[in-house]
Amino acid sequence: MSRYKIIINPTSGRGAGQRAITPIEQMLREHQLDFEIALTERPWHAAELAQQAAADGFDIVVAVGGDGTANEVLNGLMLAKRAGIANVAMGVLSVGRGNDFAFGVDVPRDLAAGCRVLAQNRRRVIDIGLATGGLHPEGRYFGNGVGIGFDAVVGFVAVKMKRLSGFPSYIVAALKTIFLYYRAPLVKIEFDGQTITQRALMVSTMNGRRLGGGFKMSEHGKTDDGLFDLTIARQVSRAKILALIPKFLQGTQASDPAVQIAQARRVVVTALEGVLPAHIDGETLCVEGKQLTLELAPRQIEIVTVASQEDAR
C-alpha–C-alpha distance, residues 124 and 198, integer Å: 38
- pLDDT score for 311: 46
Q: What is the pTM of this model?
A: 0.93
C-alpha distances out from residue 88 to 76, 77, 229, 232, 303, Å: 10, 7, 26, 34, 9
Check residue 255 and give left, alpha or beta (phi > 0: left; psi -120 to 50: alpha).
alpha
Topology at the third CATH level for domain 3-121: Rossmann fold (3.40.50)
| pLDDT tens-place string over residues 169-210 | 888 888 888 877 667 899 999 999 999 999 999 999 999 999
- pLDDT score for 169: 82
Topology at the third CATH level for domain 132-298: Tumour Suppressor Smad4 (2.60.200)
- pLDDT score for 309: 46
pLDDT at position 226 over 50: yes
| pLDDT tens-place string over residues 85-120 | 878 999 999 998 889 999 999 999 999 999 999 999
- pLDDT score for 307: 61
More confident residue, 212 or 20: 20
C-alpha–C-alpha distance, residues 57 and 68, integer Å: 24
Closest listed residue to residue 127, CA positions, set 207, 218, 220: 207
pLDDT at position 313 over 50: no
- pLDDT score for 310: 46
| pLDDT tens-place string over residues 43-71 | 999 999 999 999 999 999 999 999 999 99
In this chain, the answer to whether the domains covering 3-121 and 132-298 adopt an identical fold is no
- pLDDT score for 181: 61
| pLDDT tens-place string over residues 116-169 | 999 999 999 999 999 999 999 999 999 999 999 988 888 888 877 777 777 778
- pLDDT score for 124: 95
Helix, strand, coil tally for the chain in percent (to 5): 35, 35, 30
- pLDDT score for 157: 84
Residues 208 and 103: beta-carbon distance below 8 Å: yes
H/E stretch holding 128: strand 123-133
| pLDDT tens-place string over residues 237-271 | 988 988 998 999 899 999 999 999 999 999 999 99
C-alpha–C-alpha distance, residues 53 and 77, integer Å: 9
- pLDDT score for 306: 84
Q: For strands 266-273 and 259-264, give the pairing.
A: unpaired
- pLDDT score for 264: 97
pLDDT at position 212 over 80: yes
C-alpha–C-alpha distance, residues 94 and 144, integer Å: 14
Task: Give the mean pLDDT of the chain.
Answer: 92
Residue 153: what are its φ and ψ, rounded to 5°? -65, -35
- pLDDT score for 312: 44
C-alpha–C-alpha distance, residues 259 and 249, integer Å: 14
Domain boundaries, the chain: 3-121, 132-298
- The sign of the CA dihedral 225, 8, 50, 304 is negative
